[in-house]
Every structure is written in C-alpha cells, then in structure tokens.
Amino acid sequence: NPCVLKDFTLITPTAEVRVRTHGGRAKCLQRLIRLGIPTPRTVALSFEAVHEIAEGGRPDTSRLLSAFGRTPLVSVRPSSADPDWGGPGAVLNIGMNDERCAELSRTLGKDVAEAIYLKFIQAYAIEVARLDPEPFEEAAEADHPVQAALAAYEAETDEGFPQDPAHQLAEVLRSMARAWEGVSARLLRQARGAPIDAGLGLVVQDMAPGLGAGESGSGVIRMIDRITGERQVTGRYKRKGRSGSKRDIIYLARDPRGPSMEQEAPALYEELVGILEVCRRRLREEMEIKFTVSQGNLMVLDAVKVDCSTRAAVKVAVALAEDGILTPQEALLRIEPMSLTELLHTQVDPAAKRDVILKGIAASPGGATGQLVFSARAAQTSASHEIPCILVRRETTPDDIRGMHVAQAIITERGGMTSHAAVIARGLGLPCIVGASGLTVSTRDKTITTKTGRIFREGDLVTVDGSAGEALAGAVPMLDPALDGPFRTLMRWADEVRDIGIRANADTPDDARMAETFEADGIGLCRTEHMFFEPARLMVMREMIFADCETDRQAALDQLLPMQREDFVELFRIMAGEPVCIRLFDPPLHEFLPSDREGMMGLAESLDMPLSRVTRRVEALSEFNPMLGMRGVRLGVTMPEIYDMQVRAIFEATVQASRQAGAAVVPEIMIPLVSAKREVELVKTRIDSVAAAVRNETGQSFDYRLGVMVETPRAALRAGEIAAHAAFLSFGTNDLTQMTYGLSRDDAGRFMGTYVNNGVFHEDPFHSLDREGVGELLLLGAERGRKARPDVTLSVCGEHGGSPDTIAFCRDAGFDYVSCSPYRVPVARLAAAHLAI
C-alpha cells in the first residue's frame, strides 16, 4: 500500500526544521545558512518521512531532485536527534551515470570522472543493492574499472546499473531508512541512550565536489586539539594535485613538516578560521566543519560538534563560559559526570593498539602497565626493586593489602563490584579488574591462562585498562591525569550550585589527602580496620586475637592505641575542620588471620606458638557465614575492649588535634552492623564513660556525635527507636543490598552476568542502587528516623554513594550527603550540580 511522500523541506533560513523532527544535522545546516555561511543546497527529510519510506512509502524523488537543477549530483547523510546514536553511512555522488560520466570527462578529465563513477557504483552495489563487495574490489583493479564494475553489477543482479538519478535516489533513501530500523542498529543506539522510537532524518545535499581548475579540494578543520583541548587549528586538506589528478594532503595551519593551506592559500585559510569563530560564538560550541573548495570557492558541507576527549570537553566548556558564550551552569551541563573519571587517572590512550588478553568487571578505572606477580610478597619485592607490577590473585584478602598498596593495578579471577579487591582498589585509585571470566589463575605455577589458552607468566608485561575492564598484552601508550585549571574552575562552579554534601570514604591519612585533593566536604566513612593492615600493626592485631586472657588482650590493644591515635590526629589535621566520621571496627576477626598452611606456619613462628594452637584458633574463629556472623557491633558487644581502645584513640586525638588547630574538633563515631536499639545503648554507655575518662585525664572538654550505620534490614525498619540514640544515620548500602537480597557481595559476581542477561536484575544491584527494594528500605528508614528525631543527619556511605543515580535518589529523599571513594568525589560533585540546575 505505497503512498506518495510529500514531507521534504528545502532548508532555508525560515523553513520549519527542528532537531525533534528533522535531526541535528539538518538543524545545524539551517543554522549555518542563517549565519550566512556558504553551504550547498540541501533538502531535509523528516523522521516521519523516513519512517514512511522504511515502511514501503515511495518518495517522489523526481520532484525532490528538481530542487537541485537539471543534472544534479547529490549526497545523502543521516540526521538523527543525537549524532552519538549512529546511523547509516553517507552515500555520495548519486546521479552519476554513463551520460554524466561522459559529460564530466569533458570538464574535469576522464580520470576524475571515472574515479567518481567507480566509487559510486561500488557504494551503490555494496550499501544499497547489498551485493558482495568482492567482485567490485576486483573490478577496481581491472584495466577498465568502470566497465568492469558495471559488468559485475549486471552479473550479480541480472539488471543493468540503474541510470535514472530519481531511481538511484529512491533506492538510497529506502536502504538508509531500512538500515535504521534494523534490529542491530536499534540495539546499538539504545545502548547509547537512544529511546526506542528514536527517529532518523536524512539530508539530501547538492554535491560540491571540490574539483576543477584553480584551488580545489576538500577537507575537515577544527580549532582545537581533540585530545588536549588546546586551541590549535587541526584537520586535513586534500588538495587537488597540481600534477595530474592526484590529490596532495597538506596541513591546514603552518607546519614544519610540510606545506600548509595557511601558507599556500591564506585567504581561504582565513575564511575557514573566520567561519569556525562565528560557529563558536553563535552555535556556542567548538565545531568541526567539512568543506570543499571548487576553483577557489568555499562550501561548508556539514558542521558537527568536535568529538573530543573529556579533558578537552572540560577545557572547551570552561573557555566558552569564560568568554561569556555560555553561562557557568550551561558549561556544567555540557560535561557528563561519569566521564570525569577519565581525567582523574592515568588512562590508556584511546588511540593505542589493543591486544586484549582478558575481560572482566571494570571495578576501578585508570590504566597501568607492569610485570605480573602472583602474591603480595612478590609485589613487595618488585616494588623494592622499583619495578612496576600488576598483582594477580584468585581473590584478595586483607593479607594482600600490603601487596595492593605497592602494585600498579590488580586483577582477580573472582569477585564483583563490592568485593574486597574492588573496594580497596577504588580507594587506592588503582586500576582493577575483578571477575575476569574464563581466566584461570594458578598462584602455584604463577601463571594465568586466558580463555583462548594463552599463558602469561610471572614477569610478563601486561597493561590493565580498569576503565574498560580489559587487560592488554605488553606496554601501551598512556595519557596523564588532568587536574588542571579548567577542571578546578568547573568544580568550583559545581560547588556553587549543588545542594547535597559529597564526602569521601577515606581510611588512612593517604586517602584523606586524596579526599582533600578532590575537595570532599569531609570524610563520611573511615573504615578503621584498614588502619590495621600494615605489617607491623597486623602483627599486634594478631597478638590481640590470640590473647588468652583479658590482660594479654589489653596489652595488645595498648600497643594499637597510639598507632590509631596518630592516624586520627593526622586525619583531623588533613581535613582541617571538615567533619570526619569514624566507623568502629567492623570485619570478622578471621580476616586478620592467614587462611593457608604456609601462612599459619609463619604466624606460629612469629608468635612463638605451636602450629596446632594457631590452627585451633583459626578454626575456632571460622564461621559458616562470616558476613552474617561475629562482626560489627556484635564484636563490639562481646569484646568491648576493642571499641574502648578505638574510642579512646579518637578522643585523645580530638584533644590533641583541637589544641593544635586552636579550634574544637568534633569527631563523628559510627557503629556498624546494628540491628537492635539495645546494641546502640550498650556501646553508647561505654563510649560515654571513655569520653568522661579522657575529659578527666586531659582536663579538656570536647563533644562528639554518635551515629549508626543502617546496613541490616532490621535497622532500617527500627530506625525510629535507633535514631533516639543517634545524631546521624548512615546507610551502608553494600551490606544492606547484600542482606536485602540475601546475596553474597563477595560471590555474586559468579552469576551476576547470567542474572542481568536474563533480566532477573536490570543491573548488578551492588553497582547501581536497587531503588525498588533497597531504596524502599532507605526511604522507610529515613522517614522513621526523622519522625523520631527531626534533626537526624542522613547519608549513604556504601559504594553506591558515588553514582549519579544514587545521588539523585538521595537528593530527592532529602538526605544531607553521600560518601564515596575519593576518586569518585569530582563525579559526585558534578552530578549533584546537574541535579540542582
């Protein structure tokens, strides 16, 4: 039931052309025309028209072509609402046929005319008639390529090559319209954020071939470097060769490497730069323009926003705002928050060659190259020789921390987004791949065997691209991080508009310095157990765990006390008056003990104990479900001496830091894994008595704020009565997700892929907050907490805290802040600003 298509529009300054109906390219061409920039005559087909064509509608292409004069040659290009959604490739020189070829041979020479015709036959055969490319590639090598290509076309289709320009155009339009509606094209653009019903417009444009006597050629030009954003004219100009028909490629701006347009055709160069300046001011964007020159006459065929790196995009947006072309708020909206991670880390050069050896979950961004090592000890040895290394483990345990600290990147065979390796790596800002599927790690043989059977050994050079979740063989070119002036300016603008706090999860003074660098509004979660992972401290910790009696345990704790105190003094000093929220000890004790025989023997030796006693103690501490067992406040209630020591260290540090700063420090102390009000009461009583003792001993008064981590479903449900004892509630969405789903955060990586692929979960709930389930507990807990205590401070400190989606959720729910790993802080600050604009 074919219909006759009416809906095409000659683009003039006043024609009705909108991005919404005709796509970005059509609209941009209209803007160029309005700015008086020379552009070839162009007709736009609306989304509706193109959809009709895909459905079998027949456009009146004879009428369409009549807009272009008697014997036109035209091009067709896609025009979707967003250029990132892709689209079919352009088809050029429609209208070429035997007659036109003969005609052009007379004006441009046979070689040029036949080259154009050949290219068109090839494009038409492959893209439009969908024929096998091979015969046409062979034809190009023949003595008479055009004749050979025409013959190949006839042999493949049993029809002569279409000579009627209107027929050619109709077929091109039909093929492009249908390509857009194909399943793979649709999936691809949806993955890039296009809505299901995203439309395609097409623009039909008079060819301005860039041929003829005098200065002729074609090229692209932009005014910035696409990687750095520096102002610098780049691009290329293919100039019709002075000798014969061959074209020379010359530089645009003056260049020591060879001839340039600036030197050889300065007027043309000035004209182009002038056009780019006009585009920048009036289109409010750095544009890249495609142009042709025919006998000295310039035509701009198309203009698109320069496709540039995030670093360049930040520089461009800030410069546009500083020049008064954009408002600072518009500049903020130009930058996608997540893309900032690209600036904060060393990055694998996107232009680099990639020999991918394994893929996994992209657990922590950035790029690093090093030699493979398979144990923390080997990593330390490597570091002591100043050899960069990549630590590979099946999964990591606290024993590996010292290795992680000195490694350049981490790969684990197992684990998901919140596994130990992933969390630590993000905190340290190290590139990390976890759950590397299909990989076999043998720590004994010190090898990894990839899915395809390639074997890599200790000492082999490998590059980790943590942003892509891929490891590459060998060393690969890198780009440095870019916390430059424009970045800082953009962040300052973000802080001026955002209305939710962004704190950092920072466990050690090093982390705190990172938090300061990224200008967090304080520390939202200091996981104090991470302070015990240094070798010397780990030993004392182990002595504490092995203590037979309270006196011995106290002796070990007395040794830990000054170490913790020093850390806290440092944290308070670095954060200089910003809030610091310290979480009391959380993990099960067995995490501090070795898990294999070799480790236990080492421990027996250093503790001067029989091995049997070590194994007995390890066994005694082992639990079937350690994440649901003796950890968090449960340890605090049953072994209160640990919390006593920590709290004393915090208060003594408070006194010391307040004296040093000359201003009162008010620490925030947070209790993990609470599920009952009584737990809070028990801990609070002891904290208050330690506070009283320290006040007495030092003769100095101080305040502190007590808070509770809401990370069990019961704590969310009972938030009302819990808030009666808590000045703040911080939702630990890692554990809360684990417990709401009954899903182990350390093991879920094994089947998460299958679950997401089958649509059981939209996304990994450890990665992106489950608004429906976990989110409901957040809202319920917030509401009940607030009802009991209207001034209660609310926050999220799980790994979700740094994701723009969680920030939006928390802001809507009126939370005070989110806390995320230091490297996520800039992303979170910008995301929060976007929400407030």
Selection from Mg ion, ligand PEP, none that 733 binds (CB < 5 to 8 A by kind) is ligand PEP
Token pair 């190290």 in the structure block, residue: 430
Contact between 321 and 333 (Cβ < 8 Å) = no
Selection from ligand PEP, Mg ion, none that 797 binds (CB < 5 to 8 A by kind) is ligand PEP
Contact between 662 and 574 (Cβ < 8 Å) = no
CA distance 200 to 22: 8
Burial class (CB in 10 A: 0-12, 13-18, 19+), 766: buried
Instruction: Judge whether 735 is annotated as a binding position.
Output: yes
Q: Hey, is 629 helix, strand or coil?
A: coil
Contact between 468 and 807 (Cβ < 8 Å) = no
C-alpha distances in Å from residue 528, one per residue of 436, 638, 817? 29, 18, 20
CA distance 648 to 336: 44
What are the tokens at 476? 């690969």
Please report, as a single letter, which amino acid is at residue 319.
A
C-alpha distances in Å from residue 743, one per residue of 589, 590, 627, 764? 22, 21, 11, 11
Instruction: Judge whether 247 is annotated as a binding position.
Output: no
CB of 794 to ligand PEP, least distance (A): 14
Q: Which is nearer to Mg ion, 285 or 711 (CB)?
A: 711
Q: Which is nearer to ligand PEP, 278 or 779 (CB)?
A: 779
CA distance 678 to 671: 12
Q: Which is nearer to ligand PEP, 483 or 538 (CB)?
A: 538
**Residues, the chain:** 837
Q: Name the catalytic one among 308, 526, 797, 820.
A: 797
Instruction: Judge whether 662 is annotated as a binding position.
Output: no
Q: Name the catalytic one among 345, 420, 590, 767.
A: 420
CB of 292 to ligand PEP, least distance (A): 58
Catalytic (active site) residue 385: no
CB of 563 to Mg ion, least distance (A): 23
Contact between 738 and 701 (Cβ < 8 Å) = no
Q: Which is nearer to ligand PEP, 311 or 631 (CB)?
A: 631
Report the candidate in 783, 666, 654, 791 with the shortest Cα–Cα distance to residue 731.
783
Distance linking the first and last C-alpha atoms of the chain: 49
Q: Which is nearer to ligand PEP, 223 or 670 (CB)?
A: 670
Site residues (vs ligand PEP, CB under 6 A): 525, 527, 586, 711, 732-735, 797-798
CB of 530 to Mg ion, least distance (A): 13
Contact between 161 and 154 (Cβ < 8 Å) = yes
Selection from ligand PEP, Mg ion, none that 525 binds (CB < 5 to 8 A by kind) is ligand PEP
- Interaxial angle between packed helices 825-836 and 804-812, expressed in degrees from 0 to 180 and rounded to the nearest 10: 50
CB of 763 to ligand PEP, least distance (A): 17
CA distance 145 to 628: 75
CA distance 718 to 785: 8
What are the tokens at 88? 């079919």
Q: Which is nearer to ligand PEP, 735 or 770 (CB)?
A: 735
Contact between 695 and 701 (Cβ < 8 Å) = yes
Q: Which is nearer to ligand PEP, 24 or 732 (CB)?
A: 732
Contacts 24+ apart (CB under 8 A), 544-548: 544/642, 545/589, 545/592, 545/593, 545/617, 545/621, 546/607, 546/609, 546/613, 546/614, 546/617
Contact between 161 and 152 (Cβ < 8 Å) = no
CB of 817 to Mg ion, least distance (A): 17
Selection from ligand PEP, Mg ion, none that 529 binds (CB < 5 to 8 A by kind) is none
Catalytic (active site) residue 797: yes
> If phi over 0 gives left and psi between -120 and 50 gives alpha, with beta otherwise, what is residue 761?
beta
Contact between 799 and 418 (Cβ < 8 Å) = yes
Residue with nearest beta carbon to ligand PEP: 732
CB of 504 to Mg ion, least distance (A): 17
DSSP-assigned letter for residue 799: G
CB of 797 to Mg ion, least distance (A): 9
CA distance 534 to 563: 11
Q: Which is nearer to Mg ion, 359 or 583 (CB)?
A: 583
Contact between 94 and 73 (Cβ < 8 Å) = yes
Selection from Mg ion, ligand PEP, none that 428 binds (CB < 5 to 8 A by kind) is none
Site residues (vs Mg ion, CB under 5 A): 711, 732, 735
CA distance 426 to 409: 11
Selection from ligand PEP, Mg ion, none that 798 binds (CB < 5 to 8 A by kind) is ligand PEP
CB of 735 to ligand PEP, least distance (A): 3
Selection from ligand PEP, Mg ion, none that 470 binds (CB < 5 to 8 A by kind) is none
CA distance 568 to 706: 16
Instruction: Judge whether 734 is annotated as a binding position.
Output: yes
C-alpha distances in Å from residue 366, one per residue of 188, 261, 342? 25, 39, 7
Q: Which is nearer to ligand PEP, 234 or 733 (CB)?
A: 733
What are the tokens at 316? 């461009």
Burial class (CB in 10 A: 0-12, 13-18, 19+), 225: middle
Contact between 658 and 664 (Cβ < 8 Å) = yes
CB of 419 to ligand PEP, least distance (A): 11
Q: Which is nearer to ligand PEP, 431 or 798 (CB)?
A: 798
Radius of gyration of the chain (CA): 33
CB of 675 to Mg ion, least distance (A): 12
Selection from Mg ion, ligand PEP, none that 299 binds (CB < 5 to 8 A by kind) is none
Q: Which is nearer to ligand PEP, 583 or 617 (CB)?
A: 583
DSSP for 647-662? HHHHHHHHHHHHHHHT
Selection from ligand PEP, Mg ion, none that 527 binds (CB < 5 to 8 A by kind) is ligand PEP
Q: Hey, is 487 helix, strand or coil?
A: helix
Instruction: Judge whether 733 is annotated as a binding position.
Output: yes
Selection from Mg ion, ligand PEP, none that 545 binds (CB < 5 to 8 A by kind) is none
| Residues placed in the known binding site | 527, 583, 711, 732-735
| Active-site amino acid positions | 420, 797
| Residues placed in the known binding site for substrate | 527, 583, 711, 732-735
| Residues placed in the known binding site for Mg(2+) | 711, 735
